[in-house]
Homo-oligomer: A and B are copies of this chain.
Amino acid sequence: MPQRSPSRRRITLADIAQACGVSRATVSLVLSGSPMVGAATRTRVEAEIRRQGYVYNRGAANLRRNTSSSVALVVNDLSNPFFAEFAAGVDEALADAGCVMLLGSTGESVERQRAVLASLVEHGPAGLILSPAEGTSLDDLRQAVGLHTPLLLFNRDVDGADCDFLGTDNVEGARLATAQLIARGHTRIAFYGGHAGSSSCRQRREGYARALADAGLAAEPRWRIECAPTRLQAAAQAGALFARDPAPTAAVCYNDAVALGLMLGLAARGLRAGDDFAVTGFDDIPEAAVSVPPLTTVATDPRARGRQAATMVLARARVPDAPPARVVHPVQLAVRASSASPPPPPSAPPTSPPTP
């Protein structure tokens, strides 16, 4: 619900104009730095503005000029460091452009997303950056966003949406991670975590399969372990890896949260990532570099992606009719200790460790 404003009437242009004995137009020109106003008048007006503590009402100006000075960002969950970094990047670039950020989160719920989008769009942002909740349909977007707010989809695509898109090269990232394990001699490599519903998980699995195929290895379904992409779920599922026969010697994880969880699960079994089992992640969240052991992962630099997304959406707001931009950002493999372990010699397959 809208809130009442504080008690005392806000100072307006008219107050300043009256106090200086000039018109509101003149004060407005002073504010916009127009050269058409006399130096003496300007000084007088500026002093009065400071004296009265006038604060510009940008909403009113936007209404009159038909402009906007905000951009909306909608993410699934701010407490996910990946999105927090991304939001920090968006904020940086928007602040540089003199824009303000409207933030909403969906908690991965399509209904909440609908409500959040509707509420944000009413505030007239110049553009909207959305990391869509899982299961978002084209209709959900059309309903909520309408056709008047430029939309940039981040991270996940929505079938049929012909708007701007900024994503990560999931296929290539997972391919790089898998190829690195293969280069170290691993042949039994699991794909760990995520679930098939998500397009990014499908793409990462595709890159994984491609690397295996390139090396003449098969992607065995039994080495595909599904779990929710959280650290706790991943830790709890670690045992599943060793229930397979033969057990894998390495795992390409859906993302860093899963990889860090898996490393905890391994530790609980007396195994150490990088020594006894090789692990890779995806995202390169800040924690990855300082975990024990440091996590080999695919770097997406979410903060830089945030800046990029902000730049793209501001550009779109200036040129609404340009054809949609689709940017799939290249990734880099950050090789660290967690993937250092060599596979055991083929003659001595590892025995499953005892389940605690």
A residues lining the B interface (CB < 8 Å): 1-8, 10, 53, 55-63, 65-70, 77-79, 81, 84-85, 87-88, 91, 95, 97-105, 112, 115-116, 119-124, 126-127, 146-150, 231-232, 235, 260-261, 264, 267, 286-287, 290, 292, 303, 314, 317-318, 320-321
Contact among B4, B65, B290 with A235 in the assembled complex (CB-CB below 8 Å): B290
How far is B105's CA from A91's CA once the two chains are assembled, in angstroms?
A: 7
Interface of A: prevailing SS: mixed
Q: Which B residues touch A5, using CB under 8 A? A: 66-68, 124, 126, 148, 317
Pairs of residues from A and B, 10 with the lowest C-beta to C-beta distance, nearest first: A3-B126, A2-B67, A84-B84, A3-B317, A58-B122, A6-B320, A78-B88, A7-B320, A2-B69, A103-B103
Report how many copies the assembly holds: 2
Q: Is the CB of A100 within 8 A of B123?
A: yes
- Given A4-B67, A59-B63, A95-B112, 16 more A-B residue pairs with CB atoms under 8 Å apart are A2-B58, A2-B65, A2-B126, A4-B66, A5-B67, A6-B317, A59-B124, A70-B102, A78-B85, A79-B84, A88-B105, A95-B116, A100-B119, A100-B123, A101-B102, A267-B292
Q: List 20 A-B contacts (CB under 8 A).
A: A1-B69, A2-B68, A3-B67, A3-B69, A4-B66, A4-B317, A5-B148, A6-B148, A55-B121, A55-B122, A55-B146, A57-B124, A58-B123, A59-B59, A59-B123, A100-B102, A101-B102, A101-B103, A102-B102, A103-B103
Contact among B68, B103, B290 with A264 in the assembled complex (CB-CB below 8 Å): B290
Q: Is the CB of B292 within 8 A of A264?
A: yes
Q: Which B residues touch A63, using CB under 8 A? A: 57, 59-60, 63
Q: Which B residues touch A267, using CB under 8 A? A: 292
